[in-house]
Every structure is written in structure tokens, then in C-alpha cells.
Amino acid sequence: RRRHRCKRGLLRCARPAGGREEAGRPIGSRRRDRRIPGFRRQSRRRLRGRGLVTETQRRKAADAWAFRTRVEHEAAARFSRLATEISRFDPLSPVPALMRRAAEDEHRHATLCAGLAAAYGTPATASANEVPIAPRALGARAAVLYEVVAACCITETESVATLTSLLAEEIDPGVEKVLRAIARDEVVHGRMGWAHLAREAARYDVSFLSSWIPEMLSGSVEETLFSHLDATPEDRDLLRHGVLPPSQKRTIFARTLEEVVVPGLEQFGIDGSPARAWLCARIR
């Protein structure tokens, strides 16, 4: 089926490019959605009465999209900052230009997510509290690499898996439109991280990152994702509105980590054992 072919293609594009210095290109069109006001009005009428039978369900969907709005704003600020920092020590790298474009993408994604949050009844704020996340023990260049691996190789790669899993489900047309627009860009955002890692690995030993991967993983997921494996009630009616059940979210995260992220890191001499141990400690 077309959706499943799309899922395989997106995940394939999100993988590291076999150790080659390859930043990747957007798939499909990069056309901007210029009909946001109309989209919001249509979505509000459709979403409030379609498939959400309780106020609690509507609030959960709204909160999820409002949260995603904040995440997109933070990603935009981070990519802009990292583009500047990479340019200082690697002026010939193609990655800063990709990151500046990615920052524009994330601002657009935030607008789309805010539109859905408003359609579900919760206006999203535009504030973002983006701060450097690398440990202070690392030098400036290593700290940038840490952030790029955490934000792109891990978070963006996991995001592609989540989005494409949602697109394989029966979801509301308005939500699907937003997910497809975001997914096209997230593939490129993941690959620009692998491209930067490839450039750095060609210059010096990046194996030091292995001990930091668990910290990156902890920072890339919600604190509750693995804390209540059996106790969290699940509402599959929310899936139609872009909200994954906790069990499905855990499965996607674990599978992508084991099948895409860890093998990708190992291509550059980064030991995957700490990452696997981190995961095993949470799903056993």
C-alpha cells in the first residue's frame, strides 16, 4: 500500500549515508503552506466534532499539539545557533546552510502545530526556552558535535519514525496534511546531523560520544515514556488526531534506536553498548 511504501522510504532516507559525507536533500516539494488561516478555520470546524467524544480527549489532543509547537520553536533556535557555531570552526561545511534552512522549516512547523492546537481549543504560545544541552566538560567543538548528534541523529531520526508510523494509520485529513508537511523536512534534518558527524569523524576520534549517548537519550524522551509501562491508560481514539498511545510510542522509539540510530553511530566507531544498556534498563 502507498502509505507503507512511504514509511519505508522516509526511514531509509533518514539513515546515515554509509559514512559518506552526504547531507541529503528534501524529498518531494518544499512548497510552503500559504493557506494557514483558512486551514485553521476548516480544521476547527472539523476536528471539534469528529472522533473526539469527550472534553478530556479534546484537551489531550490540544495539549499534545501545543507541546509540539514549543518543541518546534526550540528546534528552530537551536539550529540557528548551531549553524553559527559550526561555521566558526568548519567554514567549508555545507551543514550550516542546511541548519539555517532547517530553522526556517521548524518555524513553519510551529505555525502548523499551533494551528492544530488552536483547532482543538488550546492556543499555543510562541515562547521557546532553548539552551545549550552539551555537558560543560566538553570542549567547544565536541560540545557542538554532542548537540548535533542529540538533536539530529537521535531526535530527528526518531521523529521521522514517529511521523511515518502515524501516517500509516487512519488519521484526520487535516492532521495528515500537517504530518506530511513536517515529515518531508524531518528526513533532511536527521541527515544533516549524520553529515556533520561524518565530517567530524573524518578529522578526529568521535568514539568519546559513546558514554554520552545515554544522557542524550534521556533528554530526547518524555520522563514518563518508560515510567509507567503497565499503568498508563491508553486511548486509541486519539491516534486519529496525531497522538500515539504510550505503548506504541515506546515500541517505535525502541525499534528505531536499535535498528537505525545505534547502527548508524557504530559506523563512526561510537560503541552502541551504552545505548543498548540504557534501553534494556527501561523496557525489561
Q: Rounded mean pLDDT of the chain?
A: 83
What SS3 class is residue 265?
A: helix
Q: What is the pLDDT of residue 76?
A: 96
Q: Is 154 within a domain?
A: yes
Q: Is 21 within a domain?
A: no
Q: What is the pLDDT of residue 53?
A: 57
Instruction: Report pTM.
Output: 0.81
Q: Is 86 within a domain?
A: yes
pLDDT in tens, 141-169: 999 999 999 999 999 999 999 999 999 99
**Residue 262: which CATH number?**
1.20.1260.10
Q: Is 110 within a domain?
A: yes
**Given pLDDT bands bounded at 50, 70 and 90, which one contains residue 224?**
confident
Structural domain count, the chain: 1
Domain region containing 92: 38-125+132-283
Q: Is 31 within a domain?
A: no
Q: Is 17 within a domain?
A: no
pLDDT at 236 over 70: yes
pLDDT at 8 over 70: no
Q: Is 245 within a domain?
A: yes
pLDDT at 6 over 70: no
Calpha distance 270→211 (Å, rounded): 9
